[in-house]
Structure 1
Amino acid sequence: MATKVADAVTSLVNARTASQENKARRQHSLIFRLYYWLFPLHTERLEASAESALETAKADGQRVASDWIKATALHYLNQNGSDRHRRAEQLSEISKLQQHIGLTADLLQLSQSAMQHLTNAAYDCDLAWAAELVDLFNKNKTISLDSRIKNSIAAASVRSANASVRAFLEALQNHRSATMEAEPGDALELAVDIAFDPGIDVLSWINMPTVQEAAVECRRIAARLALSHDRFERLTKDSHTRLGHATEVLRKIELPYLAAAAEHVPTLIKSALPTRI
């Protein structure tokens, strides 16, 4: 690749020289200067083409050089048993943290959705309760119809909230299982374990004697979810901090080997040192 870049440099120098010589020979001609201003010369087009070819050759060379540096650095590193072991430990830690971050991100999204559904359900139950009170003291058919409609809407909202809470609880259980399998006793597992104690009674419209009680229950569960949501937000932030630290430790392990490999790359295709193997 370095030879290819060197050939491209030579081609560009030749094209640039020819273009400059052509301009120099004709610079005394007013007609030529006008023509040159309106239309690029053949030598100028050759120069532009050579510049483009050089940039392409450099980009290709730097990409190949970067891949070669990584492969060579890994070969050097694997010859050092201590650093090979340290690198494997860091890669394992990074993988676990990335998995945990992905799981907690899902839980955050599901808990947020469940809280929103519960808030909406509580509001619809409040409206239904108010409509029931109005209907209680009025024998108007229109008011009675409005009360029934609002009760139907409230029932649908509670069922929707119920489904949303169930989805969160299922994901929570999956998170607990995945975390315990990956790293028993880990802080993530403990955080999941204390998220709900003794747990949430999933909403049931049938078991709610009144819409007023349904509204109260929706707000109670939403409050429990808010506590869990806050815990997982802190947990996610902590995991991101730990991931950044683990990544930096890994970079420091790999950096000397990357630098050593880069010393063998020809100057023509050298670029910024890869950040990771």
Structure 2
Amino acid sequence: MSASAIASSMSLDLAPPPPRLSPADSLFLDFDGTLVDLADNPEGVHVDSVLADRLDALAAHMPGRIAIVSGRSIAQLDALFGPQAQHFTVAGSHGAERRSPEDGHVQPDKPDHLATATEEMRRVAEANDLYFETKSFGAGLHYRRNPDAEPLALREATAIAERHGLTLQPGKMMVEIRLPGDKGQAIETLMQTPAMRGTVPIFFGDDVTDEDGFVAAAALGGAGVLVGPMRETAALYRLPDVAAVHQWLARALENAE
């Protein structure tokens, strides 16, 4: 994002996105902080039937053109959505793995050092009252219940990532280490699938981890939608919170062409 774009985005608020979807659009949605409110730990989140049914309806209306792009693993998202997760495309683990009707489940091999790094993260969590999250291709330290531990969590995770050649990914009240990949690359890859090719991507996300996705969407002629308070962002639109995203999805489904 250019310096002028940042300056513009910080000098005034962003408008909400128009509540409509056309056959020329593909919809990409982050999960935590976008479709569901953040919880003290990842296991405290659940998907209610209203949200699941609404995404199901969107998937039926725009087949192959709706995707969840999340830092969670595909296995975690499957557990949260149940069988309905099979009805839309999913990019998990920050794009390290993906599942689409055309390609099935595509994922990298797990290097041996990932298990070692994961165990080191677990020991840091146990020693410092942090919530440890194991993922398919990484591990996270959550300090929402112990905010004073943020410098320690960042320092320890940075050292582990550097020691094992992994990607360091800070997030909201957490930090994780993982295999390489980002949400921008995930969107670019999914936009090459037959259903999405030639369409315009719209990506909703809340965290700094979603900025790569905003940049990728804009580069492909689409737009990012920031969810939450205004900040420096490559998004072109903004919604204030998760509830507003749900309202937008409902109206977009009503207005869908």
Q: TM-score range by the shorter chain?
A: under 0.3
Q: Per residue, is there more helix in 1 or in 2?
A: 1
Q: TM (normalized to structure 1)?
A: 0.23
Q: TM (normalized to structure 2)?
A: 0.24
Q: Per residue, is there more strand in 1 or in 2?
A: 2
Larger Rg: 1
| Higher RCO (CA 8 Å, separation ≥ 6 residues) | 1
